[in-house]
Every structure is written in C-alpha cells, then in structure tokens.
Amino acid sequence: MFSPRDMPSPSSIFSAYASMTASIMLLRSMANELIPQPIRAYLFNTFRYLIKPRSPTLTLIIEDSTGIARNQVYDAAEAYLSTRVSPENERLKISKNPKEKKLTIRLEKGEKVVDYFNGACFKWRFICAESEKNNPNDHSSSNISVRSEKRLFELSFPKKHKEIVLDSYLPFILEKAKEMKDEERVLKMHTLNTSYCYSGVKWDSINLEHPSTFETLAMEPELKNAVIEDLDRFVKRREFYKRVGRAWKRGYLLYGPPGTGKSSLIAAMANYLKFDIFDLQLGNIVRDSDLRKLLLATANRSILVIEDIDCSVDLPERRHGDGRKQTDVQLTLSGLLNFIDGLWSSCGDERIIIFTTNHKERLDPALLRPGRMDMHIHMSYCSYQGFKLLASNYLEIPSEHHLFGEIEGLIEDIQITPAQVAEELMKNEDAEATLEGFVKLLKRKKMEGDVCENFGTEKAEPPHQQQSQSKRRKVGCKQKRGVGISKSNIGVTQRRTRRMRRECSF
C-alpha cells in the first residue's frame, strides 16, 4: 500500500531534477563537442519532423504578386470569391470605378468563404498583412521606412483533393473569372489620331457604346445564324489553328448598299465577342512604318476594320521625310493583306479583320480570291422578316398586325434599306399611324418604279457551309434582298450599281 510516508520529499525531487538537468547539459555539451553543427541541425530537424503531428489538411498560399508580375490565380480568386460571399461574412469591401458597370464586392481582411466543388469542400481566407521595411533606395541618414501590404488568399482542403484543386478547381476559377471580366469589360473603339505629326499616327480610344446586337439586327435569320456559328467556331478553335499552322484570324467582307447594316453588323460582332474595334482609316496613313506600328499596336481579341475598302486602297502618295514625292512606293491591297498575315501569324491571336464596301465589283481580285476573306456577307435591302424585327424593336409590335399583310406584299418588290425602314418607324410613337405612313411610303416607292429585279444567283461561301449552299440558293428578289453569303463577285448588274449610286446620294 502506498502511504504518505512513501512520498518523496521536496528536497529529494529537487536534487533528482538538478542531477537530471546536469546530465542533459553534460550530454549536450558532449554532443556539441562530438557532433558538428550542420549534422546536429539536420538531426534536430529530422527529429522534429518525425514527432510533429501529421495534418490531413493542405493549405495553398496564393499571393497577389509573383514578385515580377500580378499573380493571375490571385486576381481570378478575388473575382470568383466575390460571387461566393455568404450571410456568414461580416465585413466586405465595395467599390465601383467610372468604367465599371456594376458594384465590385471584395472580401475584407480575415474574412472566410466556404466553397463546394465536385462535392468537395474548400475553405478560403483572405489575409492582408502589413509590414515595414527600410527603403533600399533611400541612402540618407533619415532613412524612412516604407510600409507595404501583402495580400494573399489561403486555400485549405483535405490533402486527398490536391489533384482536383490543381487540375480542375483552380482552372475552373480562372475560367469563371475570365468570363466575369469579359462581361464587365467596357469595349473600346480605337481610331487614328493624326495630331502626332512627329511621332506618327497613334490609336486613340473611346468607349464603344454602339447598341447594335444580333437581336436588333435585321438580317435573314439563316444568314445571321451562319455568322454567329462562324464566330463561335472561330473563338473555340485555338488548338485547330495551332495544329494546322495558321494564324488564328478570320476575315469577313461585308458588302451591300449604304444603310443595310454593315457597320451595325461590325458593332454586333464586337458586342457578341466582347472584342475591341480598331478602325483603320488607310487614307490617314502616310508612311508604311506607321502602318506597321499601328498594326503591331492592335490587341489580341480584337476586330480590325477597314471600311469602304474600294475608296481607301488608293493610299495617298508616299513622301520622303523632306516632302519630296516618292511615287514608286504603293501599298496594294494584297500587299497590305500579306503584311497583316505576316504580322498576325507571328504575334497575333484571335484576330478578326473586316472589310466593308458598297461596291464589291470594284474590289481588287486579290481580296476576293478564295482563302483571302473567309466569309463574304451580302447585306441587302430589307425583307419582310427584317421589317418585322425592326417593327418589334422600334414599335414594340408583337408578331402580328392588321397592316402586316399589306406591307409584306409591297416590301418584297421594293428596294428599301433597313436604315430607311428604321427611320420611318421612328417618325411617330403611335404604332398605327407609323405603319400607315410606312405603307404610304412603300406604295409611293412602288409607283416610282423602285422595284426589285431578279438578279442572278449568288453562291454561299465558306467551305463548311458549301453543302447547305444549294438549299439557300433561291431565285428572285426575295433572296436578293435577303442578304446572301457570297464567294464570288458575280451578279451585280450595271443597273444595280446605278441604284447603289442613287442611294449614296440620299
């Protein structure tokens, strides 16, 4: 039996402790003498590693900068987590700069977010640590310390999900953030600023606020869908272009009379793809070196537009720096295209180039030859379908109205551009009165003989659409006005050219 008498006295405990400490110190000093320091440190760390309890959690540190550049994962996480805030969050930052469309929400220091992906749970924490450092560039006696802030996210999850995080979750966040950025992006319209007389021409940009979209555009539905599908296919085909060794670019030629929606289609394409527009007015470029500089300064994911190409290819005469004419330097259209091809195949991605013209028949055959412009889009007079879309947009008339039958009968035989139709539909807010006025206009035009003629058939173009070409091939004015996709420059009669000229002088 244990009795209080068996308990060691405090003095004996103290002397045992003292002798143990003395032995440890002796052993330590022997070890210090016998084992060199690097080996001692190595043994110590290994021992510590072996006895440290194992954590089932892995934590990734995502800092805002890689030291040289922004850390894309951090920026993506910041944007993505703003969509994952919950009622649990107590402090959030909110902001909006003039260029942004919506309010921006960000996590405040220490805030946590729990997210689920593929059934796994991921814990995020935002950390913002301040530190003070001496300014390395300040060699004065009063070296003032610089405050810096380190922002990072901690992402913690069970170790078994490491592969999911690296292979799926983080790529998913990067993709989501890109989508959000695209949505939020304010598109830019870049035009030439010629006031830099010494340093050449430069791009100036303004926000692109053209409201045209594929929904508001009066085009034959079949053609509209073909264009949308073509754009969708183009942006998805990064790997394809790489594999076949082609520059990732696509060219469109938009042709047709004034007021048929060529510029509106360009804006609709830009709004659909969220691509900036670079409007290249060739007439303002005097030196080839300027052209090269301008093209190099265009961004990826953009649309380069050269409007009225038939009027702008005769570039102004080149001059030497001293003002003497240099008549033998001429930039031809095919030269310009080869130039662009060369530049874009070496340093451009996801580029679209669009030429517009009112007179396709006047174009340099180099532009029309197969493989040059990938898709020729004929924008033409307003069809009944086009009118109905405009009526629904401008007058908010649902699909039927008692005057529609009469309008259908008249509009199919008359050459009226969507621009003219739009103008008529804007004249009055009262739908009934507007449509009556419109019927009168159509009758007048018919009386004046501004009727549609039966042009030749134009062929549909891009290789992937050639099968459906025959389906689209119809005769008569209906399909003429209905904007066809054409590969060859045929069927534009002299009479039609005369009409176009007449339209030009409105």
How many residues lie near ligand ATP (CB under 6 A)? 16
What are the C-alpha distances in Å from 271 to residues 182, 211, 262? Answer: 10, 8, 14
Question: Is the Cβ–Cβ distance between 126 and 115 less than 8 Å?
Answer: no
Q: Which of residues 372-401 bind ligand ATP (CB under 6 A)?
A: 379
Question: Contact letters (x/-) for ligand ATP, 217-256, by CB under 6 A?
Answer: xxx-------------------------------------
CB-nearer residue toward ligand ATP: 154 or 308? 308
CB-nearer residue toward ligand ATP: 216 or 486? 216
- 315 scored as a contact of ligand ATP (CB under 6 A): no
User: Kind and range of the H or E element at 254?
Assistant: strand 249-255
Q: Which of 77, 190, 260, 411 binds ligand ATP (CB under 6 A)?
A: 260
CB-nearer residue toward Mg ion: 63 or 308? 308
The nearest distance, CB 281 to Mg ion, in angstroms, is 13
The nearest distance, CB 502 to ligand ATP, in angstroms, is 13
Question: Contact letters (x/-) for Mg ion, 367-406, by CB under 5 A?
Answer: ----------------------------------------
The nearest distance, CB 472 to Mg ion, in angstroms, is 25
Which residue's CB atom is positioned nearest to ligand ATP?
Answer: 261
Selection from 354, 360, 319 nearest residue 337 by Cα: 354
Q: Which of residues 133-162 bind ligand ATP (CB under 6 A)?
A: none
Spatial neighbors of 484 by CB under 8 A, at least 6 apart, are 223, 378, 380, 458, 459, 460, 472
Q: Which of residues 419-438 bind ligand ATP (CB under 6 A)?
A: 419, 422
- 216 scored as a contact of Mg ion (CB under 5 A): no
Stretch that binds ligand ATP, among 141-149, 244-252, 370-378, 418-426 (CB under 6 A): 418-426
- 418 scored as a contact of ligand ATP (CB under 6 A): yes
The nearest distance, CB 263 to ligand ATP, in angstroms, is 3
Half-sphere exposure in the Cβ direction for 488 (13 Å, CA): 7
d(CA 200, CA 69): 31
d(CA 222, CA 472): 9
Question: Contact letters (x/-) for ligand ATP, 322-361, by CB under 6 A?
Answer: ------------------------------------x---
Q: Which of residues 451-490 bind Mg ion (CB under 5 A)?
A: none
The nearest distance, CB 294 to Mg ion, in angstroms, is 21
Question: Contact letters (x/-) for Mg ion, 255-274, by CB under 5 A?
Answer: -------xx-----------
- The two structure tokens encoding residue 465: 């659409």
The nearest distance, CB 385 to ligand ATP, in angstroms, is 11
Q: Is 301 left (phi over 0), alpha (psi -120 to 50) or beta?
A: left
Spatial neighbors of 57 by CB under 8 A, at least 6 apart, are 156, 157, 158, 159
Q: In 3-state terms, what secondary structure has residue 271?
A: helix
The secondary structure of residue 101, as a DSSP letter, is S
Spatial neighbors of 60 by CB under 8 A, at least 6 apart, are 154, 155, 156, 165
d(CA 233, CA 453): 35
**Number of neighbours of residue 340 by Cβ within 10 angstroms:** 22
Strands 92-95 and 104-107: antiparallel
Q: What residues make contact with ligand ATP under the rule CB under 6 A?
A: 216-219, 258-264, 358, 379, 418-419, 422
Q: What residues make contact with Mg ion under the rule CB under 5 A?
A: 262-263
